[in-house]
Amino acid sequence: MQVYFDNAATTPLAPEVIQVMTETMQENFGNPSSIHAHGRQVKTIVEKARKTVAGLLKASPSEIFFTSGGTEADNMAIVRSIIDLGITHAITSPLEHHAVLHTLEEQEKRGLIHLDLIRLDEAGNVDLVHLRELLAANPRTFVSLMHANNEIGNLTDIKAVAEICKEFNAVFHSDTVQTMGHYIHDLADLQIDFITGAAHKFHGPKGVGFLYVNGRNKIQPLIYGGAQERNMRGGTENVYGIVGLAKALELCYQEMEQHQAHIQGLKDYMLAELRQAIPDVTVNGNDQAAKSLYTVLNVSLPCTDIADMLLFSLDIAGVSASGGSACSSGSEIGSHVLRALACDSTRPSVRFSFSKYNTKDEVDFVVKTLKGLCENHK
């Protein structure tokens, strides 16, 4: 059996997405910047996709900008906010994706901002009291806190964060890459400045994403070179990717409730089975369902003598997963998230992430495989 439990890294393309992308490739090859009929036809397709995304998010089409993915979108929001919105101070979490954390650290190295890291509790939840304290002491702050952590699945109440940021006139950006397509994002209600999405996290194609820029914020391009994306991103549009992104997000919103119930059921079932099969297993991050991304389960295992070989052993057994120990053989290689939580570096950690295509039979196979590995390496 071959089992794919690494959906937080990337998801398989939905058949409906493949179909609409293939049809577009076959029938619409024009450059959307061209003024002739072939170009106008493709331009219409791109703008229809933009309206679809904006409609699902309850935003204006003029607030949606297509990018090469979540990393570019995060970089654009951060770098251009600092340059164009007069930002001198930023707040983020040590658990952020490196697309955010490294970008902000680089801006601090260049002397453009002072960066503060928000306090966390032992489960990795952000301290909103500390956020208030930092904002009260620093005018014109850029706050970047992800909606859900990509490694341990912790959810942050971004509506509460948005309200705090509004109170202190701070600019709020949230990396929503892991939750886009899995939760409703109502941008008419959520007072936020920037959010990001990447199609391949919700059964769309790789190499395409988007940045939402609240209309009250006026920023300049990150990438120059052309008038594409209403003069906000130079470069010929990834038309087929954009079409696939819009279709994938549309499907997610149509099927969200049933898929959430199915995937949450798989996660709950796997955790219960793991606890029965391997009594000393522990959950990394928040284990409360309401405060944890339903697609992600990160656990540490007691079989310490195969810490460096666990993922390899799972791969050989036919299981694709990800993760790793907080540190590996005393080096700095490993998860910055688990290191920040001071997880036991001698215990191997693994992230299982689920999609609508996974089954209980696959869970049973993985739990049996893990139990065998741990029993053979006590």
Phi, psi of 364 (to 5 degrees): -60, -40
Cα gap 299→373, rounded to integer Å: 15
Residues recognised as catalytic: 327
Q: Give me the half-sphere count of Cα atoms (radius 13 Å) on the Cβ side of residue 356.
A: 19
Cα gap 303→277, rounded to integer Å: 13
Cα gap 300→323, rounded to integer Å: 10
Give the DSSP letter string of 110-176: TTS-EEEEPPB-TT--B-HHHHHHHHHHSSSEEEE--SB-TTT-BB--HHHHHHHHHHTT-EEEE--
Cα gap 278→304, rounded to integer Å: 13
Question: CA–CA distance from 366 to each of 5, 181, 269, 318 (Å)?
Answer: 9, 26, 12, 9
What pairing do the DSSP bridges indicate for beta strands 89-92 and 282-283?
unpaired
Degrees (nearest 5) of the Cα angle 216, 158, 293?
135
Tokens for 308, please give them. 């460096």
Compute the Cα dihedral for 104, 109, 113, 119 and give only its sign. positive
Cα gap 210→238, rounded to integer Å: 12
Phi, psi of 284 (to 5 degrees): -95, 125
Helix/strand/coil (H/E/C) assignment for every residue in 266-296: HHHHHHHHHHHHCCCCEECCCCCHHHECCCE
